[in-house]
Structure 1
Amino acid sequence: MRLDKYLVEEGYFESRNRAHDAIKAGYVTVDGNKPKASAKIDENSIVEVEDAKFYVSRAGRKLDAFLEEYSIDFKNKRALDIGSSTGGFAQIVLENGVNSLACVDVGTNQLHISLRDNEKITLHEETDIRDFEAPEKFELITCDVSFISILQIVSDIDRLIESGGDIVILYKPQFEVGKDVKRDSKGVVQDIDAIDRRKEDFEANVKKLGWELKYQSLSKVSGKEGNKEYLYHLVKNI
């Protein structure tokens, strides 16, 4: 039996794609070695999964790892998750004790079934954050969006966050640097200077909004194709 199929059948992961991601990240060993997803195993194989926690998406791993190295207090806060998709960030935000969570995404029927019945979640599907309205501002906003520059929505994050509120953003250079920047065959950005320049632009723009940069770091989990991504913690001070 293939290793990825075995991991799903044994309940380690919900799909072969999830199993494949874990194998690629080095979380799975067979007989002490790091194998490929296609590796064949039998009843004599010793399969070990270093990180058996179930995540609804790779985004959950990214945020969880960030919060392990840098603590942010989420407890009892009114939270908004922008670009909720399958709920990677939402899962971790809920696990960290928020009081309520509004999930906003332009798609539909994406939120993982394990989250859909959570009474703390209010789901806003087929909703662009630029059109989203809320009765009160949020104490915490998390954001993980793709195929759009984060600079196109920072003004909306700003109008939705209360003074003193926490903002956590997954910054994805592959959607920030433009189409003309050098990439490899998988779309991984190769121009480090371009990444640095765009990050500086982002930081300068949000500073003008009164956001204070508290911490930023390279995500321990790369983008799906291998792009380096970054997590930011900022606080709205004005």
Structure 2
Amino acid sequence: MRLDGYLVKELGIQSRTKAQNYIKQGYVSVDGVVITKPSFDIEDQEVVLKEFKDYVSRAAFKLVNFLDEIDIALQDKEALDIGSSTGGFSEVLLEQGVRSITAVDVGKDQLHPKIRDDKRVDLYEQTDIRDFSHDPFDVVVSDVSFISLLKIMDKINELASKDIILLFKPQFEVGLHVKRDKKGVVKDQKAIQKAMFAFEDKATLLGWKLVKKSPSAITGKDGNLEYCYYFVK
């Protein structure tokens, strides 16, 4: 199998073109050796994409890739991470030089110690964002699961002063009745578009300006194509 094809099939990279770019930029190694040829033939070797190895979770790469596509200043900003989980998004924000991060998640004991122990991070566990109160943040990011963004957008509007970056996950937006394959991938494209339009309409009603919408560089764990949104209030 070609190396670029392997990245798409096994590592969830969205397209062969993106896979080829990662390979050419030296982000991919095979058995510990960096390979820059997309057509390199592999069989059972160990393939490592550098970003996945470096970050506390694969979710980080979704934000890393998206930040490369937008113009946003994060240095010295106060940020809110909704659905912080292991801390992938938070780690990227810390690397970008934010002054502080408030991490909120309904779960417990999920945040990686590397992020938890950073003095710039304040963690609120077992906390529903809809019950959370705070002065507005410069930047709000969100990667939530098992809840529709529609249910928390009013709260996000309350907590954001300017920049908003949200990950739209069709599998949690279309409803349980919509057809999925055995892996949980939503197959009903009309349902996805309907949910996406509802989400975008809500953002418009809140007065958010859509700056950038882009397919995530990598799919969700089950293979669903997700979308990154950047809004400005």
TM range (shorter): 0.7 to 0.9
Q: Secondary structure at the match of 1:69?
A: coil
1:7 is aligned to none
1:150 is aligned to 149
Alpha-carbon distance between aligned partners in 2 of 1:141 and 1:100, rounded to the nearest angstrom: 12
Higher RCO (CA < 8 A, seq sep 6+): 2
Alpha-carbon distance between aligned partners in 2 of 1:21 and 1:148, rounded to the nearest angstrom: 27
Alpha-carbon distance between aligned partners in 2 of 1:51 and 1:176, rounded to the nearest angstrom: 31
Q: 1:51-76 CA deviation, whole Å, 9 max, x = no partner?
A: 25511111101111111222321111
Say if 1:189 and 1:48 are closer, same or farther in 2 by CA, change over 3 A.
Answer: closer
Deviation, 1:50, is: 4.7
Alpha-carbon distance between aligned partners in 1 of 2:49 and 2:57, rounded to the nearest angstrom: 17
2:225 is aligned to 228
Alpha-carbon distance between aligned partners in 1 of 2:48 and 2:42, rounded to the nearest angstrom: 11
Say if 1:166 and 1:184 are closer, same or farther in 2 by CA, change over 3 A.
Answer: same
Alpha-carbon distance between aligned partners in 1 of 2:72 and 2:190, rounded to the nearest angstrom: 30
Q: 1:108-142 CA deviation, whole Å, 9 max, x = no partner?
A: 110011111101000001110011111x2101000
1:125 is aligned to 125
Alpha-carbon distance between aligned partners in 2 of 1:22 and 1:89, rounded to the nearest angstrom: 24
1:137 is aligned to 136
Whether the aligned pair in 2 keeps the contact of 1:85 and 1:110 (CA below 8 Å) is yes
Q: Partner amino acid for 2:11?
A: K
Q: Secondary structure at the match of 2:180?
A: coil
Aligned residues: 205
Alpha-carbon distance between aligned partners in 1 of 2:102 and 2:147, rounded to the nearest angstrom: 21
TM-score (norm 2): 0.82
TM-score (norm 1): 0.80
Q: 1:167-199 CA deviation, whole Å, 9 max, x = no partner?
A: 000000000011121211111001112111111
Alpha-carbon distance between aligned partners in 2 of 1:71 and 1:22, rounded to the nearest angstrom: 31
Listed as ranges, the gaps of 5+ residues in structure 2 are: 1-6, 13-18, 20-27, 34-39
1:177 is aligned to 174
Identity %: 47
1:64 aligns with 2:72: no
Whether the aligned pair in 2 keeps the contact of 1:87 and 1:111 (CA below 8 Å) is yes
Alignment of 1:66-85 (within 5 A): 66-85=66-85
Q: Partner amino acid for 1:51?
A: K
Please tell me the root mean square deviation across aligned C-alpha atoms, in Å: 2.2
Q: Partner amino acid for 1:103?
A: A
Q: Partner amino acid for 2:116?
A: R
**Which is higher, the Rg of structure 1 or of structure 2?**
1
Whether the aligned pair in 2 keeps the contact of 1:103 and 1:123 (CA below 8 Å) is yes
1:33 aligns with 2:41: yes
1:14 is aligned to none
Q: Secondary structure at the match of 2:186?
A: coil
Say if 1:69 and 1:34 are closer, same or farther in 2 by CA, change over 3 A.
Answer: farther
Alpha-carbon distance between aligned partners in 2 of 1:22 and 1:174, rounded to the nearest angstrom: 19
Say if 1:130 and 1:48 are closer, same or farther in 2 by CA, change over 3 A.
Answer: closer
Alpha-carbon distance between aligned partners in 2 of 1:60 and 1:182, rounded to the nearest angstrom: 28
